[in-house]
Structure 1
Amino acid sequence: MQRILIIGTTGSGKTTLARELGCLLDLPHAEQDAWNHLPGWQEAPLDEFRTQVDRFTAQDAWVMDGNYTKAQDISWPRADTAVWLDYAAPVVFRQLLTRTLTRMWTREELWNGNRERWQTLFSRDGILVWFFKTHWKNRTRNRQKLARHPHLDVVRLRSPAEMRRWLQRVERRQSIH
């Protein structure tokens, strides 16, 4: 477990897990959202985004979170492990709503000066609408993508509690080495 993808639907906790796992295993972590969302919520040009993914995943070891299909042809073949946060919709929605409202209230910067805004919370481009548009499709797509990458060791976690237990097992194995 040296080149690890963290996948899951919007709001499942990919970045949080990737950061924790990166710290635990002493591996560099990258968040694809940070490469994709330029200042003012502008989408990064495709070639710039792909270059970032290429550079990062060319390293010997890493943890990267994100579901962007526009560079999966680079990252997925290079990975050796996929950790799939495959949680039920109500669990993810509760996490997403709590996280989003907290970020709005605290004015937390996400990436490149971007912050979540009250005006876009329920807009057609807002994160909550995005969740409903993509959650079920992404679960199906993840299953299909993983089937096309049999070289990956897949860790499928179906609840936050299962994720915490798995992370504790990884931590115990790490402390032995």
Structure 2
Amino acid sequence: HINEQAVMLSIDPSKDADGFHPYNMGQLLIGNEGFVPCTPKGVLRALEEYGVEIQGKHAVIVGHSNVVGKPMAAILMNRNATVSVCHVYTDNLKKFTSDADILIVATGVKHLIKADMVKEGAVIFDVGITEEDGKVYGDVDFDNVVEKASLITPVPGGVGPMTISILMQHVLMGARNAN
């Protein structure tokens, strides 16, 4: 059994390309964004590139992991979004998702989010991934939701490339910090 906490603590925070060291997570919570987990930072980069207004918007995150959900919530709160964090066990999930201006889903549950759970014009980032019978699916029922969304990422090929791009930037930052 590998002790994740021990592994995290063994990494120099100034070289933490994944952004998971407790120091870096704490920095994120107080608004200092250095090494931020790559997937949430990739989502932020996409929001910025597409000119999506964050301030004052209701962002709903479905999934509360340390990898995506929690850091994504902090990033959006740092930009003055009103953030609701839900998960697969949230009672009446539809109540939250159907009110979201920005919906970020990261549960690993195939097609958890259906068209009737989405607000018209919502911006949707599908971070979840499930493999079934050799096919890859997202957490959002893309084919039925795409018409309601103003912006939606596919699975595969949506958030994944942004994650890798951010990871490469962080590796370069870590290398510079080493010198």
Q: Which structure's residues are more often helix, by fraction?
A: 1
Higher relative contact order (CA 8 A, sep 6+): 1
Q: TM-score range by the shorter chain?
A: 0.3 to 0.5
Q: State the TM-score, normalizing by the size of structure 1.
A: 0.37
